[in-house]
């Protein structure tokens, strides 16, 4: 083919590459604009983002096609640029978000809506068990599809599934019954994927 078309092949390849670059740049500009608006709404002044956090964020933003996930990318970028961004956004968060489907992200949001953030900062937070069946009914996914989504969330340590050795809390089912519970990593990730809020004085 290259012998037949000659320079035309290289020209076409260059045009495709240019289109991809422009397309990705457009997504990055849109995310920057949205994240800036989030910071403005929260009354926060942007701060420099460490390169090891910024680079994977920009890569993920540039290849995201889903609107709901794009909003999470913009929120991650905004939180990373907030005054305490290095404490809020882990460098690994970009890689985690890149591995989520829109449905999995929705499930994760529904799970952590059940969690009181104040309890996650205390030992009592670890006695909490997600009401997984309730979320599955809301999402309306077949059991096997839902479990596949949960497997990915567990693989990414956004939540954990354990079999209690003994019943040491009124909030947990009997020993031997598997439970799905929050992780500090998962809680921090979900919060970082939300628009930043104004800091209390």
pTM: 0.80
H-only helix segments in 42-142: 51-62, 67-80, 85-88, 93-98, 102-112, 117-120, 132-139
Lowest mean pLDDT segment, chosen from 31-40, 45-54, 114-123, 185-194: 114-123
Structure tokens at 41: 């709404």
The Cβ of residue 90 has, within 10 Å, a number of other Cβ atoms equal to 17
Question: What is the C-alpha separation between 109 and 98, in angstroms, rounded?
Answer: 16
Question: What is the C-alpha separation between 76 and 60, in angstroms, rounded?
Answer: 11
Right CATH for 99-195 from 3.40.50.2300, 3.40.50.720, 3.40.50.300, 1.10.10.10: 1.10.10.10
Average pLDDT estimate for 170-176: 49
pLDDT in tens, 1-38: 444 444 544 554 554 555 556 667 888 889 999 999 99
Backbone angles phi, psi at 53, to 5 degrees: -95, -40
**Could you state, in order of their start, the residue ranges of all structural domains in the chain?**
1-90, 99-195
Q: Does residue 58 contact residue 27 with C-beta atoms inside 8 Å?
A: no
pLDDT of residue 2: 47
pLDDT in tens, 34-62: 999 999 999 999 999 999 999 999 999 99
pLDDT of residue 166: 54
Helix axes 67-80, 51-62, angle to 10 degrees: 160
Lowest mean pLDDT segment, chosen from 37-46, 68-77, 98-107, 133-142: 133-142
Average pLDDT estimate for 182-188: 91
Structure tokens at 39: 């910071």
Q: Determine the 3-state secondary structure of 179 from DSSP.
A: strand
Q: Determine the 3-state secondary structure of 139 from DSSP.
A: helix
Question: What is the C-alpha separation between 32 and 38, in angstroms, rounded?
Answer: 10
The Cβ of residue 9 has, within 10 Å, a number of other Cβ atoms equal to 13
Lowest mean pLDDT segment, chosen from 5-9, 157-161, 196-200: 5-9
Dihedral sign (CA 71, 62, 159, 141): positive
pLDDT of residue 38: 95
């Amino acid at each position: 083919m290259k012998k037949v078309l000659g320079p035309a092949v290289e020209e076409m390849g260059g045009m495709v590459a240019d289109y991809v670059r422009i397309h990705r740049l457009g997504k990055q500009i849109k995310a920057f604009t949205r994240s800036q608006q989030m910071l403005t709404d929260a009354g926060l002044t942007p701060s420099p983002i460490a390169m090891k956090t910024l680079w994977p964020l920009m890569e993920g933003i540039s290849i995201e096609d889903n609107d709901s996930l794009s909003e999470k990318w913009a929120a991650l970028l905004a939180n990373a640029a907030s005054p305490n961004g290095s404490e809020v956004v882990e460098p690994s968060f970009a890689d985690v978000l890149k591995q989520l489907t829109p449905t999995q992200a929705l499930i994760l949001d529904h799970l952590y809506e059940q969690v009181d953030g104040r309890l996650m900062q205390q030992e009592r937070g670890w006695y909490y068990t997600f009401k997984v069946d309730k979320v599955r009914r809301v999402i309306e996914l077949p059991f096997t599809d839902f479990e596949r989504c949960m497997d990915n969330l567990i693989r990414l340590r956004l939540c954990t599934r354990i079999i209690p050795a003994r019943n040491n809390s009124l909030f947990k089912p009997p020993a031997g019954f598997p439970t799905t519970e929050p992780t500090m990593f998962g809680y921090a990730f979900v919060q970082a994927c939300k628009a930043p809020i104004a800091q209390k004085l």
